Structure 1
């Protein structure tokens, strides 16, 4: 019976040695693979961890390399070290923990006087059955020398193992190496987060409230939608921005001495702020809220390019003020016409001579009568709306022409309407033409009186709205 028991113990020790050797071989191959991938032999921080790889779902510290010649699954002893929690998912053997347990076993003085069992080192082996003739005290007990020798034997076996892998294992290692390199390349593509704090933007040169309080004669806040741009550094205006096609836009710049002027791209002239206004009312009607928002976006883009900030007025509040004024402008925007016609054609040259004798000038396809400031007061145009040109006037006959009185462009007063009527009468007499209205009815004295009253009423409405007819604001709105 003693020989049978010794044979069983020897077989179990052989299995234990084989398991230890297999794990050490696996560890050696894994270390060699890590060295070949990263180019140094430093210990990797992931070697002893159980971190799961997101890429392949396997433990990074226990790669299993299979080969066609690999033996069938062997008995895996459960290695449990001190203070190490046991989990059901811990299927692989950690060699370093096993060796630490062996050292702890050698140093444990409390166990030197007790018979050793293999279960104390984590081997779940069945207790051998003892007969009556054999005592447990007679069995050879593993000692510290045996454990130290066993560890030395493992180290010699590890050093004698060849570093060459089988073809299949080499192919598997190469594939995993390629995957690792791909993961590193993916990391290189990631954006690096820079934790350096951004510098605080410098203060604006002019406060927006100061800009809003500035008295600018170029604008009327009832008609012009205003935006403000303040810079952080003085800048030259390289080009005047084009911010709208349908409505008039003015850019007023504040120079370094605090004065305002029409902004122009003049070299050496530095600006610290701008006030940009869009005329929201003209003969095309009132600007829409969408167009105001688009204009505001363009101003913000201009401010960003100039290195500053923009302040926009509230669009809805502006439209609430501008809408009643637009309705007034629509009521007073009237043009009175007196037509001078002939039963026979008149030469263009003769017509031109008569008009120029009375002070009319040919410009922009029409004859204009100017006031003392050089602004157009009355107009003479063709009956069909075509243009007067020097070539046509020299070669083409006409049936007549029309004289126009623009209520919004002529200053208030009866004398201006009387002047208009006198010019029409003088031309009709010199060219032998008849005066008719839009219905081709001959102009009478009563008709002229009614028209004069109508003109004065409309001009009074404009005065009440602080847009006097013939003034600069009226010239701008009704252009």
Structure 2
């Protein structure tokens, strides 16, 4: 054995011995600290926890998050005026309502108290209560409107939980192939629609991408691009984002699109001039009498009391109106109209009266005459379409229907 090998062997042994000694010393030090810590008289955190910090198990209720749980405030349909109006409340004085002999001993011997300022304060409170109630109802309406903008059956909803409040001005516009809607939970713990001009800040956000519309169902590529944009936005604010299962949502989008395609019907009733073109002055007089109004798009609209279009009157082949017309077209967008059967009955009656007044022929899109029997057949098919929509839970003319058939 050479001197070099002997030196290396001695050096290796010294290193191993040093490591062993260091580990033994560390183990001894930690053991001594542990014995010292456990030798103290520590309280039992399970037995000595204050009672108000322990959940009661007698109620049987599950203490789970309930962001969308129904609120306990009065419903908007309830009549709040009698309870809140100062004029409707009457304060009875028992000393005037009963004779002195009939009063209980304590009341009979007690002198009448001196006038206090409490009634005045109560009247002032009663006057302020209607304003507070009105503000509460308006706030509730804002929250109901916001939460109704997103529907898990119609939207892919991503949830963002931020560590710090996110100002509305710093929330970007997320482009998407379908309708994108953002609502946020503000500092008052209320949901509101996130608008670019809003001054609110939000601790939570819900970003929804609609699954289907008249352009078709959401595709995997479109969904992936949307998720990447939301994830990037969340990363910029060190926020946590959660997504629904993409495969199930894409399947729901396909099923929803197939359903929409089956009920997406546009009924057109055409009125053709026979001998000479229709004079538009006479047409305008007839449509005004029937309640139709000229819209910014140049069409005549028959609207509901709430201002929603029920059906329209257009020039044949969608051409702009001139002094005369070779034909007119009445268009009825089936899934977008509430109370469609009654509207269709009025539509057919108006179309027949218009044809009689203008001496025109009422035909379908193929030029086939529309008789009473054919209109009755269309009405029957219309009832079947509305039944399918009701079974699906998408009422004709509802917000969901207006979104899907846009």
Shorter-chain TM-score: what band?
0.5 to 0.7
Within 5 Å, give how 1:456-471 maps onto structure 2.
Answer: 456-471=383-398
Deviation at 1:212, TM superposition (A): 7.5
2:302 and 2:335 map into 1 onto residues whose CA distance is 15
1:443 and 1:301 map into 2 onto residues whose CA distance is 57
Aligned to 2:304: 371
Once the two structures are superposed, what CA deviation does each residue of 1:373-402 show, in whole Å capped at 9, x if it has no partner?
Answer: 11111111222123x4xxx54xx4210110
* CA 240–447 in structure 1, closer or farther in 2 if over 3 Å, else same: farther
1:369 and 1:463 map into 2 onto residues whose CA distance is 24
The SS at the match of 1:408 is helix
Is 2:231 aligned against 1:282? Answer: no
Instruction: Please point out which of 344, 349, 356 is paired with 2:288.
Output: 356
Q: Contact 2:218/2:253 (CA < 8 Å) preserved in 1?
A: no
Aligned to 2:375: 448
Higher helix share goes to which structure? 2
Aligned to 1:168: none
Instruction: Please point out which of 428, 436, 454 is paired with 2:355.
Output: 428
* TM-score, length-scaled by structure 2: 0.62
Q: Contact 2:301/2:312 (CA < 8 Å) preserved in 1?
A: yes
The SS at the match of 2:331 is strand
The SS at the match of 2:158 is strand
Is 2:307 aligned against 1:380? Answer: no
1:286 and 1:217 map into 2 onto residues whose CA distance is 21
* CA 224–449 in structure 1, closer or farther in 2 if over 3 Å, else same: same
2:303 and 2:339 map into 1 onto residues whose CA distance is 16
The SS at the match of 2:354 is helix
Q: Contact 2:168/2:199 (CA < 8 Å) preserved in 1?
A: no
The SS at the match of 1:411 is coil
* CA 311–465 in structure 1, closer or farther in 2 if over 3 Å, else same: same
Is 2:145 aligned against 1:218? Answer: no
Name the structure, 1 or 2, with higher relative contact order (CA <8 Å, separation 6+).
2
Q: Contact 1:339/1:438 (CA < 8 Å) preserved in 2?
A: yes
The SS at the match of 2:318 is coil
1:212 and 1:323 map into 2 onto residues whose CA distance is 29
2:184 and 2:384 map into 1 onto residues whose CA distance is 39
Aligned to 2:57: none
Deviation at 1:245, TM superposition (A): 4.5
How many residues end up aligned between the 2 structures?
A: 270
Aligned to 1:315: 246
* Larger deviation, residues 350-359 vs 245-254: 350-359
* CA 432–366 in structure 1, closer or farther in 2 if over 3 Å, else same: same
Q: Contact 2:270/2:362 (CA < 8 Å) preserved in 1?
A: yes
* CA 384–266 in structure 1, closer or farther in 2 if over 3 Å, else same: closer
Instruction: Please point out which of 264, 273, 277 is paired with 1:345.
Output: 277
The SS at the match of 1:384 is helix
The SS at the match of 2:326 is strand
Within 5 Å, give how 1:120-269 maps onto structure 2.
Answer: 210=65, 216-238=147-169, 241-266=172-197, 268-269=199-200
The SS at the match of 2:169 is coil
* CA 426–305 in structure 1, closer or farther in 2 if over 3 Å, else same: farther
* TM-score, length-scaled by structure 1: 0.53
Deviation at 1:304, TM superposition (A): 2.4
Q: Contact 1:412/1:459 (CA < 8 Å) preserved in 2?
A: no
User: Once superposed, what is the RMSD of the aligned Cα atoms?
Assistant: 2.4
1:418 and 1:228 map into 2 onto residues whose CA distance is 45
Deviation at 1:347, TM superposition (A): 3.4
Once the two structures are superposed, what CA deviation does each residue of 1:295-316 show, in whole Å capped at 9, x if it has no partner?
Answer: 1111112222334222111110
Q: Contact 2:169/2:196 (CA < 8 Å) preserved in 1?
A: yes
Deviation at 1:243, TM superposition (A): 2.4
1:360 and 1:458 map into 2 onto residues whose CA distance is 26
Instruction: Please point out which of 323, 327, 330 is paired with 1:403.
Output: 330
Q: Contact 1:381/1:402 (CA < 8 Å) preserved in 2?
A: yes
